[in-house]
Structure 1
Amino acid sequence: MTQTETHLESTVGPGAWHDPGALRTLRILHRSGKLAAEYRAVPGLLSRMPQADLPAAGQLLSRLDPTEVRRHAPDVPVVSVAVTGHSTVAPVVAPLTAELARHGLLLEPKVAPYGAYVQDLMRPSDEALPQLTLCLLDAYTVFDDVTVPWRAEDVEAAARAKLSLLAGAVRAHQEAGRGLLVLNTVPLLRRFTHQLVDLRSRARLGAVWREFNRGLLSLADQHPSVVTVDLDPLVGEGVPAREPRTAQYARARLSDPLLAAYAREAAHVVRARLGRTRKVLVLDLDGTLWGGVLGEAGPHGIELGAGLRGEAFQDFQRTVRQLGSQGVLLAVSSKNDDGPVREVLKGHPAMVLREDDFVRVNANWKAKHDNLRDIADRLGLGLDSFVFVDDSLFECGLVAERLPDVAVVPVDEEPALHPSALLADGWFDLFELTEADLERAGRYRTEALRQEFREDVGSYQDYLEGLGIEVILRPPDESELARVSQLTLRTNQFHLATERLQVPQVADWTAHPGRHVIAVRALDRFGDHGLIGALFLRREGELLRIDNFVLSCRVFSRGIESACVAAVLDFARSTGASAVTGRYLPSPRNSAFSSFYADHGFAVLGGDGDDPDAVHFRHDLATVAPAPAHLRLDAAFGPFDAATDGHGDK
C-alpha cells in the first residue's frame, strides 16, 4: 500500500462517504508531479468525490501522459477512444477521463477536428484502431443545413437527408470492422421551436425531431456494434442541453453538464465492453428496503406500503424487482434475526420482493463484509461482480475498505432518492439481454441445492460422481450467438485469451472456413446449467489451434474444462491433425489459469513474434487423456473442412 493509499484509508474510513478533501488531495498530487505515480489511488479518490467535483478532477487527470501512467501502473487497462462529432467535441475528454478513472481505467483519447465526423466514420480502417469511437451529435447537425426562413417541412427534409448520410457513414464504419461506435440522440432546443410562432408548426417540428431521433436509435438495432445513448432522459432530469455563450463562441453545442452526464453513460458502455458488468445486488433491509428497525418495531411496525415514506420504500422495491427480472441476482445482508426477516419476506402484505426473489438471505449479526464474502463463496462469483446498497455510512465505508472490489452504493434516510442512487452508475448495463440472463436466478437457486448436496457427502469425488454431470459440445445455432458473445464480454477468470467479441465477430468465426466455434453446455441431476462456455478453434494445415477458451465461473472445478480439452484433442486426432496448440493471454483476472494447458499435458512454447504478449502451448497428441470418468461427454464438432491454407482460409 502506498503512502497515499494509507492516507486515504485513514481519512475516508468507516463512517465517512463523500470526502470534500478528495479533490484537494488530487490537486496536491498533481502539483507535486506524483499523480501518474499514484494513479492506482485515483479510483478510490474519485469514488469518494462529490459528483460536482468530478469535472475538475477530469481536467487534472486529462493532463497526464498515458505513457507515464503506464510506466508506474502497467496493469491499469488502457482504453483508446476516438472522439468526433458535428461541433467542438474536445470538452468531453475531461469528464470521460474522470468517469473511466473511477472504474480503474486509463483513457487514451484521439480528438478529431471540428465537424469531421462524416469523414472520420467513412475513412478506411488504419493500423491503430481505437477500441471505441464516440460520435457526438447536436441540434446543429440538422439545423446547419436549414436556411432562413424555414418551416417544419424544411427541417424534416434536412433531418431525413442527414439521417441517410449518417446511416451510410455508420454502415461504412461497421463494414470496415472499426469496432464499437457510440452515437447519441439530439435534444430539440427551445431556441428553435419558438422561432415558429404558430403552435401547430411547433407540434409538427416536435414530431419531425422525434422521428429523427427514432432513426438514430434504430441504427443500434441494425448494427450490433453500435450503441445510441439517449440524451432525453438526462435532459428530462434537469441537465441543461445548451449553454448559449459556449455554443455561440466556442461551437460547443452541448453544455458541460450534459457532456459530463453523457461521459458517465459512455463509461458504462466501455465497462460493459470490457466485461465489467456486475451480476449481484446485495441489499440491506432496515432503512433500505423498508423504514424503521425490524428488531424494534416488529414485522407489522416497519414503514412499508402505508404513508408517503412507506410507498417510497415500496417503489424502491419495484425498482429492485425490475432489475432482478432481467437476470440481476438479488441477495440480502442484514444485521437482524433470521426468523423475523423471513416472516416479513414471506408474509408482509406490502412487500413487493419475496423470499423467492433472493438467491441468498444472510440475516445475522456478522459483519457485512463477512456476509458478502459468504454470499460470493456460495454463488461461486468474484466480489467484483457485487453491488452493495446500505443506508448506513459506517457499513458502506467498512465494506469499501475491506472489500474494495465491491461497488458500494450509499443511500440516505430519504427513500424517494433510493432508485436514483442505485441506477446512477449503470452497474448492471450489458449489450443484449439473453435467455441465459433471464434464467440466471433460477440456476443460482439450483446451485444452492448442489451446495447442500456437497455438504451431505463425504468427499469431493463422491460429490462429483453423485452430480451425474453431462457435458455437451456443439456448434452454436444462430439464437445462441448472443450468449457466446456475452460470455466473451463478461467472463474474466476462466477466459484464457480474454478477447471480447461482439455478435458479428462470433458469427464471422462460425462462418469462416477452417474455424470452429464450439458452445459448451452442461447439466446434472439438479438441472440444466445452460450454455456455460465456448471454444474458438482454428485449423492451420496440420495444426489445430485453440485461440480462446472461456468458461463460466459457476461451473469451475467439476471436470468440465478437462472434458472440453479431451474432446478437442480427440477431434484433432480424428481429423488428421499432428498437434494442438493452446494460447494463454495474461490479464489481471485470469492468472489463476496460467498453467491450465500445462496441467493438461501441453508443452510450453513461449511467445511468438506475431503474438508477443501471449504464451503458447503444444500438445503432440501422442497420449490423449480421456475425459474425467465422473461425467458423460457428448461432443459433435460438425463437418470438418481440411482444405485450408496457413491462415485457415480456403
Structure 2
Amino acid sequence: MTETLAYHDLKRRELTRFLDYIQAYNAIKNDLPGLKKKIPGLKVAILSSFTITGIDKILQVKGLLNDIFVDVYLAPYDQYFSEILNRESGLFSFNPDIVFLFIDVARILGDLYLNPFSVPTNEFKQRMEDITNEMKKYVDILLQRLNKTIVLHNFEVPTHSPLGILDSKNQLGLFEAIEHVNGELRDFVKNKKNAYILDYDRFCSLHGKEHVMDHKMYYLGDIKLDFELFPRLCDEYMNYVRPLMGKIKKCIVLDLDNTLWGGIIGETTQASIKLGPTGEGKPYHDFQKFLLSLFNRGIILAINSKNNHDDAVQMINTHPNMVLKLKHFAALRINWNDKVNNMKEIAEELNIGTDSLVFIDDDKVNCELVASCMPEVHTIRIPEDPSNILKEMMRIDLFNVLQLTDEDLEKGSMYSAQRSRNELKAKFENYTDFLKNLEIKLVIKKGDDAQLPRLAQLTQKTNQFNMTTKRYSESDVESFIKRHDAFVLSVQVIDKFGDSGIVGEIIIIESDDAWNIDTLLLSCRVLGRNVEFKLMEHVMQKARARNIKKIIGHFIPTSKNSVARSFYEQCGFVKIKDDGNTSTYAFDLSRQQPMVVDYITILEH
C-alpha cells in the first residue's frame, strides 16, 4: 500500500475504541516517515505522573485525521519533574511546540490523599499551597525555556472524603482544598501568555468519575485513566493542536425547516411552526440561542435551504420567537439548487475555504450528499428527536481558538457590512470605480503588547493570503517586536460601511541595505479591495526613506494560499531563487518604482 492509499484508508476507518486507534496506527506506521515530509505538522510533548502508554499513537492518528502530522514525545514514566528541571532532558532536546502536563493529585499528595486529616489543618493547607506553587513553577520554567504553548491539566476533585457529608463543614475539606488549587491555577494562567488550563475535572465529570479509572489496571500498571478514554482525552488535546495549525472551522451553514424550527414553512402557516420558549418549540428556540452565542463570539452563520426564498425570509423577519434575524446571517442560499453547489457559493462569497464550513441539516440525503462530495466540510445531521438537538450541538469542538479578540466579537457585523458592499458592487460596471466609492482607509501601526493576541491569531488562522504560513504564538510575535533588527506592522481596514478591525500583518527583518519580509498576510475578509497592493506601496516608500536598497519576499505554497502565489510578481518583484519549496523574490528600490494605488488612504500611527 502506498502512503497516499494508507492515508486515505485511515480516513475511511470507523474509529471509536482504544483498540481501533492502535490498529489504525499499526496499519499506517510504516508510512509515517513519508507522511511527515508531506503533511504540515507540529511537535507535542506529554508529561505525566503515571502510565499513559499508547496515547502518543492515538494522538498521531487523531492528527492525521485532521491533516496534521503530530510528532509526539512521551516523557518517561513519572519523570515529569526531571524532564522540566533538567535543561539536557529529552523534552528540551525534542523542542516541542506544545506541552501537556498531566499530573495526578493522588500521586503528589501521597498518603494525605487517602488520609488528609492525619495532619493539622494548617499543615494540610500548607501542603496544598506547596502543590499550587510547584505547578506554577513548572509552567514558568517551561514558558521561559521553550517559549511555546503550555497546557496544564487541573486536578480531578475526588468523589469521596473520609469525612463524608461533613467534608464541607471542615475548616479545609478535601474537596474544597483541591477546588481551591484548581481556582488558583486557573487565575495564574489568565495572566500568562501561551499558558492554558485543560479542565480535567470537567473531563472526568463528563465521562463519569466512577468510570474514569479501571482499578485493576491502576493496581497492575499505575494506569489512572481507562484505556477507552484515551481517544476522548486526545480529542481534548486536539482542541489546542488544531488552532495552532490554523485548522479551525469558521462558519456554520444551516438548513431551515426542521433545523432552525420544527415544521416546513412552505407547507404550513407560521402559527403551526414549532418555535418558542415552551413546549415542542423550545428545543429549536434553545438551539437558536446557542447559535447566537456562537455568532457573538465570532462564528459566521449562513443559510443553505431548499425553500421558497420569500416564505423563508418572511418567517425569519416576522416570527415573534425567532432568535436569529436576517442580520445574523452572512450569506443566504434559499433556493431549489443542490446543496453542494450552494455550499461552494457560500464559501466563495465569504472568501473562506470550504474546509472552514460546518453543515447542519435534518435531511439524511442532503447530509450524505454534502459529506460525500465535500469531505472537507464537517457535516452534522440534526437528531430525529428534537430534544437531543442542543445536547448534540454542544459536543461540537471545532471552533476553539487560543485567543478571542475584539475582531472576533465584531465579526458578525463585519460580515453584514460585507453583504452591503456586495450589493453596492452590483451597481457598478467598473470595479475600480466601486473601490473608489468605498473610501478605503488603511490604519498602519507598529505592533505592541495590546495587539499581541490579534497578531498571533492572524498567523494561526490566516490561510489564503498568507505568503509563508508561519504560525506564531504571542511570545513569538512579541520577540519580533522587541528585536532591534525587526519590526511588526498591523493593518486595520476602514471603509464607508465600517471598520474591519486588524486584518493584516507584516513582519520585516532588517539588515544594512535590505528588508526581508518574514510574514505577510491579510484576512480573507478584505481580499478583493487591493489592500495588499497599497500595503506594499507603503512598505516600499518607508524602505526608500530609510535608504534601503532591496526588499526580499518569500512564497511558500500550501494547499490553500494559491490566491497569493503571483502577488510579488504583480508588485514588480523578480524571482531570484526557487528551491522547490520556497520561491524568493526581490524588488530593487534603486532601479524600480513601486506601484501606486491612489484611491486608498494611509493613516499611519
Normalized against structure 1, the TM-score is what? Answer: 0.86
What is the CA–CA distance in structure 1 between the aligned matches of 2:451 and 2:347, rounded to whole Å?
Answer: 28
Cα shift at 1:326: 0.7
Give the counterpart of 2:458 among 462, 466, 487: 487
Correspondence for 2:100: 134
Correspondence for 2:298: 327
Identity %, equivalent residues: 24
Correspondence for 2:117: 151
Maintained 8 Å contact 1:146/1:158 = no
Maintained 8 Å contact 1:488/1:500 = yes
SS at match of 1:223: coil
For residues 174-222 of structure 1, the C-alpha deviation after alignment (integer angstroms, 9 at most, x for no partner) is: 11134222221221233x5247684434982111110111233234313
What is the CA–CA distance in structure 2 between the aligned matches of 1:362 and 1:37, rounded to whole Å?
Answer: 35
Correspondence for 1:232: 201
Counterparts of 1:37-186 in structure 2 under 5 Å? 37-42=4-9, 44-46=11-13, 49=14, 53-63=16-26, 68-71=31-34, 74-124=37-87, 126=92, 128-144=94-110, 146=112, 149-151=115-117, 153=121, 155-186=124-155
Give the counterpart of 1:435 among 406, 414, 431: 406
Quickly say closer, same or farther: Cα 1:140–1:391, change in 2 above 3 A: same
What is the CA–CA distance in structure 2 between the aligned matches of 1:591 and 1:379, rounded to whole Å?
Answer: 17
What is the CA–CA distance in structure 2 between the aligned matches of 1:195 and 1:59, rounded to whole Å?
Answer: 42
What is the CA–CA distance in structure 1 between the aligned matches of 2:98 and 2:445, rounded to whole Å?
Answer: 32
**Could you tell me which amino acid in structure 2 is paired with residue 513 of structure 1?**
H
Give the counterpart of 2:583 among 615, 626, 634: 615
Cα shift at 1:35: 7.7
Maintained 8 Å contact 1:184/1:230 = yes
Alignment of 1:295 with 2:261, yes or no, is no
Correspondence for 2:502: 531
For residues 484-510 of structure 1, the C-alpha deviation after alignment (integer angstroms, 9 at most, x for no partner) is: 111111001111111111222222211
**Could you tell me which amino acid in structure 2 is paired with residue 556 of structure 1?**
L
Maintained 8 Å contact 2:552/2:586 = yes
Give the counterpart of 1:385 among 349, 356, 362: 356
- Residues 496-505 or 70-79, more deviating: 70-79
Correspondence for 2:235: 264
**Could you tell me which amino acid in structure 2 is paired with residue 144 of structure 1?**
G
**Could you tell me which amino acid in structure 2 is paired with residue 104 of structure 1?**
D
What is the CA–CA distance in structure 2 between the aligned matches of 1:172 and 1:448, rounded to whole Å?
Answer: 48
Alignment of 1:215 with 2:184, yes or no, is yes
Quickly say closer, same or farther: Cα 1:314–1:267, change in 2 above 3 A: same
Quickly say closer, same or farther: Cα 1:363–1:257, change in 2 above 3 A: same
Gaps of 5+ in 1: 1-33, 637-650
What is the CA–CA distance in structure 2 between the aligned matches of 1:626 and 1:35, rounded to whole Å?
Answer: 48
SS at match of 2:173: helix
SS at match of 2:252: strand
Cα shift at 1:263: 1.1
Cα shift at 1:437: 0.6
SS at match of 1:544: strand
Alignment of 1:628 with 2:590, yes or no, is no
For residues 369-419 of structure 1, the C-alpha deviation after alignment (integer angstroms, 9 at most, x for no partner) is: 222222222222221221111122211111112222211122221222222
SS at match of 2:584: strand
What is the CA–CA distance in structure 1 between the aligned matches of 2:103 and 2:527, rounded to whole Å?
Answer: 45
Paired residues, what number?
595
Maintained 8 Å contact 1:336/1:364 = yes
**Could you tell me which amino acid in structure 2 is paired with residue 188 of structure 1?**
V
Cα shift at 1:74: 4.4
What is the CA–CA distance in structure 2 between the aligned matches of 1:257 and 1:420, rounded to whole Å?
Answer: 22
For residues 461-500 of structure 1, the C-alpha deviation after alignment (integer angstroms, 9 at most, x for no partner) is: 2222222222232213432221111111100111111111
Gaps of 5+ in 2: none
**Could you tell me which amino acid in structure 2 is paired with residue 616 of structure 1?**
T
Quickly say closer, same or farther: Cα 1:408–1:293, change in 2 above 3 A: same
What is the CA–CA distance in structure 2 between the aligned matches of 1:294 and 1:233, rounded to whole Å?
Answer: 40
**Could you tell me which amino acid in structure 2 is paired with residue 496 of structure 1?**
M
Normalized against structure 2, the TM-score is what? Answer: 0.92
What is the CA–CA distance in structure 1 between the aligned matches of 2:204 and 2:280, rounded to whole Å?
Answer: 27
Quickly say closer, same or farther: Cα 1:258–1:158, change in 2 above 3 A: farther
What is the CA–CA distance in structure 2 between the aligned matches of 1:602 and 1:188, rounded to whole Å?
Answer: 60
How well do the aligned residues superpose, as a CA RMSD in angstroms? 2.5
What is the CA–CA distance in structure 2 between the aligned matches of 1:181 and 1:161, rounded to whole Å?
Answer: 20
For residues 82-125 of structure 1, the C-alpha deviation after alignment (integer angstroms, 9 at most, x for no partner) is: 12111112242243234323312233222111111122233438
Quickly say closer, same or farther: Cα 1:193–1:102, change in 2 above 3 A: farther
Cα shift at 1:536: 0.1
Counterparts of 1:369-384 in structure 2 under 5 Å? 369-384=340-355
- Residues 475-484 or 394-403, more deviating: 475-484
For residues 280-308 of structure 1, the C-alpha deviation after alignment (integer angstroms, 9 at most, x for no partner) is: 11111222122222222321112222654
Maintained 8 Å contact 1:542/1:576 = yes
**Could you tell me which amino acid in structure 1 is paired with residue 7 of structure 2?**
R
Give the counterpart of 2:475 among 497, 500, 504: 504
Correspondence for 2:521: 550
Quickly say closer, same or farther: Cα 1:604–1:306, change in 2 above 3 A: closer
What is the CA–CA distance in structure 2 between the aligned matches of 1:534 and 1:169, rounded to whole Å?
Answer: 33
- Residues 138-147 or 252-261, more deviating: 138-147
What is the CA–CA distance in structure 1 between the aligned matches of 2:85 and 2:191, rounded to whole Å?
Answer: 17
What is the CA–CA distance in structure 1 between the aligned matches of 2:553 and 2:2, rounded to whole Å?
Answer: 39
Quickly say closer, same or farther: Cα 1:310–1:106, change in 2 above 3 A: same
What is the CA–CA distance in structure 2 between the aligned matches of 1:440 and 1:360, rounded to whole Å?
Answer: 13
What is the CA–CA distance in structure 2 between the aligned matches of 1:61 and 1:543, rounded to whole Å?
Answer: 50
What is the CA–CA distance in structure 2 between the aligned matches of 1:193 and 1:212, rounded to whole Å?
Answer: 17
What is the CA–CA distance in structure 1 between the aligned matches of 2:545 and 2:369, rounded to whole Å?
Answer: 56
Quickly say closer, same or farther: Cα 1:224–1:215, change in 2 above 3 A: same
- Residues 85-94 or 208-217, more deviating: 85-94
What is the CA–CA distance in structure 1 between the aligned matches of 2:332 and 2:115, rounded to whole Å?
Answer: 65
What is the CA–CA distance in structure 2 between the aligned matches of 1:352 and 1:238, rounded to whole Å?
Answer: 32
**Could you tell me which amino acid in structure 2 is paired with residue 632 of structure 1?**
T
SS at match of 2:582: strand
For residues 112-155 of structure 1, the C-alpha deviation after alignment (integer angstroms, 9 at most, x for no partner) is: 11111122233438454122222212232433263875318465
Cα shift at 1:63: 3.0
What is the CA–CA distance in structure 1 between the aligned matches of 2:174 and 2:31, rounded to whole Å?
Answer: 50
Correspondence for 1:27: none
Maintained 8 Å contact 2:353/2:560 = no
Correspondence for 1:643: none
